[in-house]
A = this chain, B = another copy of it.
Amino acid sequence: MLSTMQDVPLLISRILAHGSTVHGRSTVTTWTGEGAPRRRTFAEVGARTARLAHALREELAVAEGEPVGTLMWNNAEHLEAYFAIPCMGAVLHTLNLRLPAGQLTWIVNHAQDRVILVNGTLLPLLAPLLPQLRTVEHIVVVGPGDTSVLDGCRPAVHDYEMLLAGRPTAYDWPELDERQAAAMCYTSGTTGDPKGVVFSHRSVYLHSMQVNMAESFGLTDRETSLPIVPMFHVNAWGIPHAALMSGVSLLMTDRFLQPAAIAEMIEAERPTHAAAVPTIWQGLLSELAQHERDVSSLRSVVIGGSACPPALMRAFDEEHGVTVVQAWGMTEMSPLGTVAHPPADAADEEAWTYRVTQGRFPASVEARLVGPAGEVMPWDGEATGELQVRGPWIAAAYFGGKDAEPLRPEDKFDGGWLRTGDVGSITPDGYLTLTDRAKDVIKSGGEWISSVDLENHLMAHPAVAEAAVVAVPDDKWGERPLATVVLKPGASADYTELRAFLAERVAHWQVPERWAVIESVPKTSVGKFDKKVLRKRYAEGDLDVTRL
């Protein structure tokens, strides 16, 4: 039997049309450091978005399906770009301004960006790259900045406001296929080239609905959200799109990310909701301990990007009455994967056992754990496996480059599932706890040993300052753990003692036979343990290994 429903595509232009009319009085406020913040209603954003689209099409000849780069802070103009570019049928390509110059260059060349919108304050970062950016023809400078650094550059330089001035405040947005590309974001792993994830209108639309579902962030026009998470990080976790969908007012940090500035803008603008990585919240907590600021407007803040120390969550709760909600996701997941609201029937300390997990899956994110032999593991809160996910806003592939086939590396995709590369367990009621990166797990005799678990136990020993456990080849077991430890000043290495210490805490077959003392644990540029280096040093015989 045929359904008699309309075949209406899920398009970002619908979100824009709705947000700029029904929620035309909602506002986006951009912090400016010194003077008054810059305020704009969603109705104004709607009109300026149309102007920007006209400028991009008529002045810069941006074509359907073409990526348009943005190298911008969180501000009203970036919001305009967030909507104008996909609504006109082009592809918003947010550029991560924190990447090393080489990676940024590689990404722009790979995407073949022809037009880049850049905040004036970021010109010193962009200008030196220009000679290497092979495809860039137009630079649109947004807001004040020293444009002299662009003197003599090959691309044409435009001023954003001049480009918009006098253009029509309406645009006849095309009726696109909902599966068409809307936005893209590159994710940079520790190995290999950055990989582009291309979001569709459909995925953005559905993700926006999920963000505003009461079980997730539950935003409405009664809220003002402060997305401290940058708009160049995977759609700012979906908040800008969700804002226009339900009329959520926005407070934008621009480049003012110092704890004092954030405390000041919260006190002044009274947002009810905010989202950021733990580092930001840690900084804000310290700031609040030193300078009294009224942050009581905050109802709920979302922490994601990396695991949040429970102490940080409790401090916000107890000292400031702010509920911290942990969430987990990935660029490949748009990013919303899980949100750690406790279940309705868990109170007090039991609620905390849920709140410190990565969170609970929504209906649209199907999850499975795949064990060492490829078997699907149960959701019993104990069994671990690699987390694989499936759903309408989850990647099936990476962008292969213009006119190139999408990339589906085997270590990233398994049939219709995204391999997250994370290992963890899931409770019967769908709460995820991640324990390891899959590549750091030791596959020993058909079972997995968690290197993170061993490290945490070792670091609890009074003689140990730091510990890193890595997999090394073993003829009998396939892989076995090698424990490397950094001793505290004055402590000496007693491997027998350390082994016994571990044996009391983990299963006997998980206890390492191979031990080495090292001076320090090698780390990556973002401060994570660099286990590749340790494995290489072991392989090259460059470690003094004791075998018990």
Q: Which of A73-81, A217-225, A301-309, A520-528 contacts B (4 or more CB under 8 A)?
A: A217-225
Q: A8, B200: Cβ atoms under 8 Å?
A: no
- The residue of chain B having its C-beta at the shortest distance from the C-beta of A10 within the complex is B392
B2 engages A198 (CB within 8 Å) = yes
Taking a contact as CB atoms under 8 Å apart, the answer to whether B7 and A215 are in contact is: no
Binary flags per residue of A382-399, CB closer than 8 Å to B gives 1, else 0:
000000001111111111
Q: Does A357 contact B (CB under 8 A)?
A: no
A215 and B221 contact, Cβ closer than 8 Å, known pairs A4-B396, A366-B14: yes
Interface 1/0 per residue, A320-362 and B, CB below 8 Å: 0000000000000000000001011100000000000000111
> Which of B14, B394, B428 is close to A6, meaning CB atoms less than 8 Å apart?
B394
Q: With an 8 A cutoff between CB atoms, is A99 at the interface?
A: no
**Which residue of chain B has the shortest Cβ distance to A208 in the bound complex?**
B363
Interface residue? A199 (CB, 8 A):
yes
Cβ contact of A23, chosen from B182, B203, B210, B429, cutoff 8 A = B429
With both beta carbons as reference points, the residue of chain B lying nearest to A209 in the complex is identified as B209
- Residue of B67, B198, B364 near A4 (CB, 8 A) is B198
In the complex, A268 has a CB within 8 A of chain B: no
A54 at the B interface (CB under 8 A): no
Q: By the criterion CB–CB under 8 Å, are B2 and A406 in contact?
A: yes
Q: Give min CB distance, A395 to chain B, whole Å.
A: 5
Measured in the bound complex, the distance between the Cα atoms of B171 and A187 in whole Å is 38
**A396, B209: Cβ atoms closer than 8 Å:** no
Alpha-carbon separation in the docked complex, A214 to B25 (Å): 19
In whole Å, how far is A345's beta carbon from the nearest beta carbon of chain B?
A: 7
Chain B residues with CB under 8 A of A18: 361-363, 366, 430
Confirm or deny: A468 has a beta carbon within 8 angstroms of a beta carbon on chain B.
Answer: no
Residues of B within 8 A of A196 (CB): 4
Closest to A361 in B: B22
- Whether A65 is near chain B, meaning CB under 8 Å from some CB there, is yes
Among B3, B197, B209, B221, contact of A199 (Cβ-Cβ < 8 Å): B3
Q: Counting CB contacts under 8 A, is A495 at the interface?
A: no
Chain A facing B: main interface SS: loop
Are A396 and B210 in contact, with the CB atoms below 8 A? no
Q: Does A372 reach chain B (CB closer than 8 Å)? A: no
A181 within 8 Å of B by Cβ?
A: yes
Given contacts A1-B91, A22-B430, A213-B214, contact A245 B344 (CB under 8 A): no
Q: Which residues of chain B come closer than 8 Å to A343, judged between CB atoms?
A: 25, 221, 247
Contact A202 B395 (CB under 8 A): no
Asked if A235 lies at the interface with its beta carbon under 8 angstroms from chain B, I say: no
- Encode contact with B along A176-190: 1 for CB under 8 Å, 0 otherwise: 000111101000000
Please name all residues of chain B whose beta carbon is closer than 8 Å to the beta carbon of A394 when the two chains form the complex.
5-6, 8
Count contacts on A: residues with CB < 8 A to the other chain: 78
CB neighbours of A17 from chain B (8 A): 366
A433 located at the interface, meaning its Cβ lies under 8 Å from any Cβ of chain B in the complex:
no
A395→B6 CA distance, assembly (Å): 5
Residue contact A14 to B219, C-beta cutoff 8 Å:
no
Distance of A234 from chain B, by nearest CB (Å): 13
- For A219, the chain B residues whose CB sits under 8 A away are 214
Question: Among B1, B200, B210, B379, which residue has its beta carbon within 8 angstroms of that of A21?
Answer: B379
In the assembled complex, the Cα of A221 lies from the Cα of B17 at a distance in Å of 32
Determine which residue in A25, A197, A202, A363 has the highest number of CB atoms from chain B within 10 A of its CB, and name it.
A363
B390 near A6 with CB under 8 A, answer: yes
Q: Which residue of B lies closest to A413 (CB)?
A: B6
Contact (A395, B179) CB under 8 Å given A219-B214, A220-B344: no
In the complex, whether A96 has a CB less than 8 A from a CB of chain B is no
Tell me the residues in window 15-36 of chain A with beta carbons closer than 8 Å to chain B beta carbons.
15, 17-19, 21-25
Cβ contacts under 8 Å, A66 to chain B: 1
Residue picked from A1, A200, A222, A246, most chain B C-beta under 10 Å: A1
Q: Are A14 and B246 in contact (CB under 8 A)?
A: no
A179 touches B3 (CB 8 A): yes
Contact B397 A4 (CB under 8 A): yes
- Are B213 and A209 in contact, CB atoms less than 8 angstroms apart? yes
**B429 pairs with A8, CB closer than 8 A:** no
Cα separation A14 to B17 with both chains bound (whole Å): 30
A4 touches B197 (CB 8 A): yes
9 contacts between A and B (CB under 8 A): A1-B181, A1-B402, A3-B203, A4-B197, A5-B395, A6-B392, A8-B366, A8-B394, A15-B363
Q: A5-B179, A23-B429, A246-B363 are in contact. List 17 more A-B contacts (CB 8 A).
A: A1-B67, A4-B396, A6-B394, A6-B395, A8-B390, A10-B364, A14-B364, A18-B430, A22-B360, A22-B430, A24-B429, A209-B213, A213-B214, A214-B214, A214-B220, A215-B221, A220-B344
Going nearest first, the 10 A-B pairs with the smallest beta carbon separation are A22-B430, A3-B200, A18-B363, A214-B218, A1-B181, A6-B396, A4-B198, A222-B344, A4-B397, A5-B203
